[in-house]
Amino acid sequence: MSDKTYNGWTNYATWRVNLEVFDGLDPREYFDGAEDVYELSRMLKDFADEVVLGEAEGLAHDYAETFLSAVDYYTIAEHMAEDFELFAEEEDA
């Protein structure tokens, strides 16, 4: 069985989307309504879909959608929550 992780991330798609779509974004500004990591991960997926897919059509859209389906948004959300100390009060309770 081969290791499919990439630069410490779940896979190449997760690393690449985190780097090119989310790097530098403050989740408190873009995803303020998230109440937990799961909800944040869903918001991240929707955001990435909008940024990457935009108004793409045809084959380019299909390839981009396939690439995005491999992204582990929950892992990105966990890292983001830790880096920005989101939901910290829930963990302390």
Query: For residue range 1-42, what is the model confidence (pLDDT) as tens digits?
Result: 567 899 999 999 999 999 999 999 999 999 999 999 999 999
Query: For residue range 32-51, what is the model confidence (pLDDT) as tens digits?
Result: 999 999 999 999 999 999 99
**CA distance to 25, 41, 47, per residue, from 21 (Å):** 8, 14, 9
| Rama region for 86: left / alpha / beta (φ>0; ψ in -120 to 50; rest) | beta
Instruction: Round to whole Å and give the CA distance between 36 and 77.
Output: 9
Domain boundaries, the chain: 12-92
Alpha-carbon 46 to chain mean position: 9
Global pTM reads 0.89
